[in-house]
């Protein structure tokens, strides 16, 4: 059971905008920044968003992040077939004194 809660699956058609949500509590998302990772099949996770809404160099601006209270969201605009992957949220948890992850959302591009 993951500390952060994500829906197991999401889907969209090419060109569509999709949103993936992540729910936590006051000890993690509520008081710390959120990070998002993309994991393509057979590959290691890749940092997609850090500090709630910042993109590392090389990440397209189709990917955006936001946070409100104890929840966060990752939005993917202009969906492409290569976006089909698992997406994970992560944040520091003050109570556990360590980073925690969501269970992941499998995105299918129809």
Partner 1 sequence: QVQLQESGPELVKPSETLSLTCTVSGGSITSYYWSWVRQTPGKGLEWIGYFYHSEGTKYNSSLKSRVTISGDTSKNQLSLKLASVTAADTAVYYCARGGRWGNFDYWGQGTLVTVSS
Q: CA-to-CA distance for 17 and 64, rounded, in angstroms?
A: 11
CA–CA–CA angle 35, 36, 39 (5° rounding): 145
Nearer to partner 1 among residue 79 and residue 91 (C-beta): 91
CB of 19 to partner 1, least distance (A): 20
Dihedral through CA 56, CA 59, CA 60, CA 61, nearest 10? -30
CB of 9 to partner 1, least distance (A): 14
Nearer to partner 1 among residue 22 and residue 79 (C-beta): 22
Report whether 78 contacts 49 (CB < 8 A): no
Nearer to partner 1 among residue 62 and residue 106 (C-beta): 106
105-109/9-12 β-pairing: parallel
CB of 93 to partner 1, least distance (A): 8
Chain positions contacting partner 1, by CB under 8 A: 2, 32-35, 37, 43-47, 50-51, 56, 88, 90-92, 96-104
């Amino acid at each position: 059971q993951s500390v952060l809660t994500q829906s197991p699956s999401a889907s969209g058609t090419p060109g569509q905008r999709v949103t993936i949500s992540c729910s936590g509590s006051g000890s993690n998302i509520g008081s710390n920044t959120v990070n998002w990772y993309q994991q393509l099949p057979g590959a290691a996770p890749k940092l997609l968003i850090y500090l709630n809404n910042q993109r590392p160099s090389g990440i397209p601006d189709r990917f955006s992040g936001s946070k409100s209270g104890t929840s966060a969201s990752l939005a993917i605009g202009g969906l492409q077939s290569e976006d089909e992957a698992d997406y994970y949220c992560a944040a520091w948890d003050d109570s556990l004194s360590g980073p925690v992850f969501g269970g992941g959302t499998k995105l299918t591009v129809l």
